[in-house]
């Protein structure tokens, strides 16, 4: 195990404290064209960069907890939860993946918050950043050591996904957002603290336990007022398979929300979760625990309403149909479409 670890640094005037020794990421001119592996530990993750001409994106993965046994039945997937973050040349995150209920590196929450309070320059091409990330994903395994398989799997899956401007569902979502006017009442200080955002929750699922039930995950695509592109996506894997490795079910549209919150954080103790429900997790959802589909339902409701204190409850009291953070019920089906 390395004694220090290179972390993705923000270069927009706020250097967040980290749990590791902060090292300056190399400048574009110091990188070779293509994939650059800057730091690697099979049990911890990787830090990498992708250079294309004078453009660059940086990536970090973090290996987390062992998945519940039911999610380790597929030998083609990593046995552990894996977090992933990709930032642009200014250090602003635009692609984030959370394997479980909380990030291995808790400072990622602060970096994501900065991304959501940052107004990118007029005419900024965020789709080009997604294209660079896609190229990184497609080429990473060609240069990565086999021992990095847990990280490589998720990087590869990311590289197989279309960029937002090539994804039919996201193109349709962007058109819907463009046709949806902002509220005419309330606080209209569009850019203060992040301003108005329109998120779209994409639901994914697959069979588990010989199709006795389903595992589900959510991706949260977010577009900021004044842009015609998605600025950031957060993928919530809910302890099992992540969205990109499963079948798409449907999109849950939201509305314009002012300074929306989708963290699920309501408890300040050391065991607080930063994703969905803060009650105990158990894949079978018995007692006062929750399972993946409860997390998905709560995440989708947060995306829809723009708050952790939804009309159906917060990260502890959430109770919507068959989905609840604290009551063990029949929840082995994904939340589905049309709610």
pLDDT in tens, 146-169: 999 999 999 999 999 999 999 999
- Which of the residue ranges 90-94, 95-99, 239-243, 269-273 would you say has the lowest mean pLDDT? 269-273
Give the per-residue pLDDT at 288: 84
- Percent above pLDDT 70 for the chain: 86
CA angle 62, 65, 68 (to 5 degrees): 135
Give the per-residue pLDDT at 22: 56
CA angle 273, 21, 147 (to 5 degrees): 75
Give the per-residue pLDDT at 302: 92
Give the per-residue pLDDT at 304: 92
> How is residue 83 written in tokens?
């977090």
d(CA 204, CA 104): 23
Q: Give residue 252's pLDDT band: very low, low, confident or very high (50, 70, 90).
A: very high
Q: Across all residues in the chain, what is the average pLDDT? A: 86
The answer on pLDDT for 57 being more than 70 is yes
What is the average pLDDT across 169-188? 85
- Which of the residue ranges 4-8, 124-128, 199-203, 228-232 would you say has the lowest mean pLDDT? 4-8
Give the per-residue pLDDT at 111: 93
Q: Is the pTM of this model over 0.85?
A: yes
> How is residue 273 written in tokens?
């979760």
d(CA 81, CA 65): 6
- Percent above pLDDT 90 for the chain: 63
Q: Which of 194, 193, 214, 191 is nearest to 203 (CA)?
A: 214
The answer on pLDDT for 135 being more than 50 is yes
Q: Give residue 7's pLDDT band: very low, low, confident or very high (50, 70, 90).
A: confident
Give the per-residue pLDDT at 19: 43
Q: Where exactly are the structural domains of the chain?
A: 27-180+193-275
> How is residue 240 written in tokens?
């099992």
pLDDT digits (tens, 9 = 90+) for 257-315: 887 876 544 333 333 345 688 888 888 777 888 999 999 999 999 999 988 899 999 99
The answer on pLDDT for 231 being more than 60 is yes
Give the per-residue pLDDT at 318: 94
Please count the residues of the chain.
339
What is the average pLDDT across 179-202? 73
Residue written as tokens 């108005």? Answer: 196
What is the average pLDDT across 85-107? 94
The answer on pLDDT for 3 being more than 60 is no
> Is residue 323 within 8 Å of 294, Cβ to Cβ?
yes
Give the per-residue pLDDT at 281: 85
Q: Give residue 10's pLDDT band: very low, low, confident or very high (50, 70, 90).
A: low
Q: Give residue 18's pLDDT band: very low, low, confident or very high (50, 70, 90).
A: very low
Q: Give residue 188's pLDDT band: very low, low, confident or very high (50, 70, 90).
A: low
Strand 93-98, strand 230-236: pairing? parallel
The answer on pLDDT for 214 being more than 60 is yes
Q: Give residue 117's pLDDT band: very low, low, confident or very high (50, 70, 90).
A: confident
């Amino acid at each position: 195990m390395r004694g220090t670890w290179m972390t993705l640094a923000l270069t927009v005037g706020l250097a967040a404290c980290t749990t590791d020794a902060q090292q300056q990421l190399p400048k574009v001119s110091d990188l070779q064209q293509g994939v650059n592996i800057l730091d690697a530990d099979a049990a911890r993750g990787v830090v990498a960069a992708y250079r294309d001409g004078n453009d660059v994106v940086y990536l970090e993965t973090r290996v987390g907890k062992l998945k519940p046994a039911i999610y380790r039945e597929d030998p083609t997937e990593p046995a552990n939860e894996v977090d992933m973050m990709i930032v642009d040349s200014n250090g602003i995150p635009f692609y984030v993946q959370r394997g479980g209920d909380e990030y291995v590196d808790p400072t990622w929450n602060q970096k994501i918050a900065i991304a959501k309070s940052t107004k990118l320059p007029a005419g900024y091409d965020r789709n080009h950043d997604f294209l660079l990330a896609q190229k990184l994903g497609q080429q990473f395994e060609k240069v990565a050591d086999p021992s990095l398989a847990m990280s490589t799997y998720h990087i590869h899956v990311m590289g197989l996904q279309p960029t937002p401007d090539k994804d039919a569902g996201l193109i349709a979502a962007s058109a819907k957002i463009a046709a949806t006017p902002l509220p005419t009442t309330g606080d209209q200080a569009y850019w203060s603290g992040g301003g108005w955002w329109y998120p779209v929750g994409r639901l994914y699922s697959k069979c588990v336990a010989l199709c006795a039930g389903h595992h589900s995950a959510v991706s949260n695509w977010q577009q900021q007022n004044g842009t015609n592109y998605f600025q950031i996506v957060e993928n919530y894997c809910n302890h099992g398979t992540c969205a990109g490795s499963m079948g798409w079910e449907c999109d849950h549209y939201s509305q314009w929300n002012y300074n929306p919150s989708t963290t699920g954080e309501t408890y300040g103790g050391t065991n607080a979760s930063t994703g969905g429900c803060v009650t105990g997790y158990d894949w079978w959802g018995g007692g006062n625990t929750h399972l993946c589909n409860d997390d998905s339902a709560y995440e989708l409701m947060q995306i829809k309403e723009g708050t952790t204190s939804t009309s159906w409850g917060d990260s502890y009291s959430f109770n919507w149909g068959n989905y609840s953070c604290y009551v063990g019920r029949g929840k082995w089906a994904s939340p589905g479409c049309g709610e």
